[in-house]
A and B are shown apart, each in its own frame.
Chain A
Amino acid sequence: MSALHPVIVGFMPLLDSALLVVAKEKGFAAAEAIDLVLVRERSWANIRDRLAAGHFQAAHMLAPMPIACNLGLTPFSSRTIVPMALGLGGNAVTVSASLWRDMAAHGAGDDLDAGRNGRALAAVTAARSIAGKARLRFAVVHPHSAHHYELRYWLAASGVKPDHDIEIVILRPDAMAEALRSDEVDGYCVGEPWNSVAVASGAGRMATVKAAIWQSSPEKVLGADARWADEEPDVLAALVRAIYLAAAWCGLPANRPELAAILARPDYVGVPAALMLQALSGAIDVGGGATVQVSDFFIPFARGATFPWKSHALWFYSQMVRWGQVRHAEPNAAIARDTYRPDLYRRVLRPMGAALPGASAKVEGALGVATPVGASGAGLTLGPDGFFDGAQFDPDRLDAYIDAQMPTGRR
């Protein structure tokens, strides 16, 4: 028996670190001869820097972050690949009690409906502008985060111009609830449990959730140092297998209480298990005594939740272009596309009989209902994957999508 391979992986204290935590705590990593060392980090910048410096071989990363690294959009980044995703969904938009009162007066409801509550927010924004009040301020965790792009997508499709009508600032996840309470921000988009924390303390109301803005949408990925992945392909493969099995474990409803208890430990997320359980079960306390069932709030395994879709990478890229973070050019699109590696995912998981989609990209928003797809291995059901405004993203028509979203006069 050969010795265990040490693999050092950085993570942020968030619900969706679950797959990594379970890979270690439930022995899936050890069964693959990996000594998985999880290092809790305090900022995404640190995760990026320590991956680049070779301290970490892989990390829990915001899904757009490896793309931004490879595009050279962030300081000190190195070539990073995405061999798998770490689940779908998991975020919500939370607003202050006073903003919620204004939104409710304009028709917002408890049901987390992205369309209706988005229109109410647009009405509040317009009324504030006419009254000469200060712009609302929203926070997200990072400029290259799914939170940032889905918040902007939701606002823009609801009739709010993100760069004109409101202000968006960057704030760390665990500081969000306090910033809401002290009126430093009026709302934010963040991963769990940091929405439930604000609701539980009475500081905030959940206005909508990621699963309502874009169903089955990507959130965190496993980012791996490309040099390490080249040097140690077998260790990377073992890591991917371990996390895949951990995802399957996380996906079983019977395991939710144990998972919530593990994540609640101070060395992981350090937030009470009951709050963590909400997002896992989908029974979301939105505030004001209302609980809404969102069965797909966070999907750790089903619906191909760990598959690194190239269409996800390209959608994030389209939003980087849309909001002026990068200039659209075919070489840039190719960098985004090549960052996600479904080829590695397939090569590693096919021998296990894992459910694998036949394609590496799909038309996002095309599946209105859960749909069994042609897949090798076990049966696979994908979607629904709709955007709340009914739009579709066809990765083969990237230019047209980008053109249609660009404000006139830019690009």
Chain B
Amino acid sequence: MTSSLPAVLVIDEDRIRASIIEAGLREAGHEQVTLIHTMSGIARRIAEINPDVIIIDLGNPDRDMLENMFQLSRAVKRPVAMFVDSADRLSIQSAVEAGVSAYVVDGLRRERVKPILDMAVSRFEAYSRLVRELEEARGELEKRKLIERAKRILMKSRGLSEEDAYALLRKTAMNQNCKIADIAQSLVTAAGLLDPDVKP
């Protein structure tokens, strides 16, 4: 067995995720790692890079084109065979769930590929988690801004203090059995309808 690890190509339009995968591969000792973010001229690039393993984001809309390219020896020189090992249903399931697929040059031994895919799966999962958390945080921020706006409308139109405006929002939400942000949204919308100068 040669000491050099397989050459890996990562095709992912998401640059941040691709970099996270690359870092993981480099930590694991892979020296030949290439990232591709766009599909233009991809056949030529793949032929030049001549990878042993190709990792692609499952959401890539050009996957049919890429798969066909891998199967045409013209483009890749060596036939790229399987989405890892078809017999290993569990590892494939976890890959599909994480949203990543890997194509492997025919003849590359399974034990050399498994750690690459496992790493890609765990990094894809970690990345999705991160994105989800970011979205939640962003949603939380939007809610706070909305409540701020609603408070200001109440303070201005009813001459309330900030605390009283918030207390009124909270009380109304409790009475109507809904969230403060929902009440704030209704108030901001209503104010926008009644007064075109107030931005909804």
Contacts and interface: CB of A to CB of B under 8 A. Distances in A.
Contacts, number: 63
B44 interface: no
Interface string A23-67: 000000000000000000011111001101111000000000000
A390 interface: no
Given A75-B81, A75-B83, A46 B65 contact: no
A174 B62 CA distance: 10
Interface in B105-120: none
B62 A43 contact: yes
A174 B93 CA distance: 28
Contacts of B63: 42-43, 45-46
Contacts of B58: 46, 49
| Size bracket, chain B contacts | 20 to 34
Interface in A269-306: none
Contact of B86 (A76, A171, A174): A76
A9 interface: no
Interface in B32-86: 58-65, 67-69, 71, 81-84, 86
Interface stretch (B96-104, B135-143, B145-153, B154-162): B96-104
A183 B37 CA distance: 22
Contacts of B83: 49, 75-76
A53 B62 contact: no
A55 B67 CA distance: 21
B92 interface: yes
B93 A54 contact: yes
Residue among A45, A46, A142, A170 with the most chain B CB within 10 A?
Answer: A45
Contact of A53 (B81, B84, B96): B96
B61 A172 contact: yes
Given A45-B67, A143-B68, A53 B93 contact: yes
B64 A53 contact: no
A171 B93 CA distance: 26
A53 B82 contact: no
A141 interface: yes
A91 B62 CA distance: 20
A43 B64 contact: yes
Interface string A67-81: 000000011110000
A378 to B, nearest CB: 39
Contact of A50 (B60, B68, B96): B96
A169 interface: yes
A168 B150 CA distance: 59
A340 to B, nearest CB: 23
A42 B65 contact: no
Contacts of A143: 68, 71
A170 B82 contact: no
A43 B67 CA distance: 11
A52 B97 CA distance: 12
Nearest to B62: A172
Contact of B96 (A42, A49, A142): A49
Contacts of A171: 65
Contacts of B69: 170
A43 B60 contact: yes
Contacts of B61: 42-43, 172, 174-175
B181 to A, nearest CB: 25
Contact of B92 (A45, A74, A76): A76
Contacts of A44: 64
Contacts of B60: 42-43
Nearest to A77: B86
Contacts of B93: 53-54
A74 B81 CA distance: 9
Interface string A157-185: 00000000000011110110000000000
Contacts of B103: 75
Contacts of A45: 63-64, 67, 101
A169 B64 CA distance: 10
A70 B68 CA distance: 18
A43 B84 CA distance: 19
A172 B65 contact: yes
A4 B152 CA distance: 47
B82 A76 contact: yes
Nearest to B85: A76
Closest 9 CB pairs of A and B: A76-B83, A75-B83, A53-B96, A42-B61, A43-B63, A170-B68, A45-B63, A170-B65, A53-B93
20 contacts: A43-B62, A45-B101, A46-B63, A49-B58, A52-B92, A53-B97, A55-B96, A74-B67, A75-B82, A75-B103, A76-B82, A76-B83, A76-B84, A76-B86, A77-B86, A141-B64, A169-B65, A170-B68, A170-B69, A175-B61
Interface of A: 42-46, 49-50, 52-55, 74-77, 141-143, 169-172, 174-175
